[in-house]
Amino acid sequence: MTTHFYETARGHGLRHDPFKAILVPRPIGWISTVDAGGRVNLAPYSFFGGFSSRPPIVGFSSEGLKDSARNAAATGEFVCNLATRDLAEAMNLTSAALPPGTDEMEFAGLESAPSTLVRPPRVAATPAAMECRVLQVIALKDLEGQETGAHLVLGQVVGVHIDPAYLRDGIFDTAAARPIARCGYRGDYATVESLFEMVRPVV
For 42-101, how does the pLDDT look when each residue is reduced to its tens digit (9 = 90+)?
999 999 999 999 999 999 999 988 899 999 999 999 999 999 999 999 999 999 999 888
Rounded CA-CA distance 151/49 in Å is: 14
pTM score, whole prediction: 0.94
Specify the amino acid at residue 187: G
Rounded CA-CA distance 141/184 in Å is: 23
- In our burial notation (b when 16+ CB lie closer than 10 A, e otherwise), range 123-153 reads beebbbbbbbbbbebeeeeeeeeeeeebbbb
Output the tens digit of pLDDT for each of the chain's 203 residues.
899 999 999 999 999 999 999 999 999 999 999 999 999 999 999 999 999 999 999 999 999 888 999 999 999 999 999 999 999 999 999 999 998 888 999 999 999 999 999 999 999 999 999 999 999 999 999 999 999 999 999 999 999 999 999 999 999 999 999 999 999 888 899 999 999 999 999 99
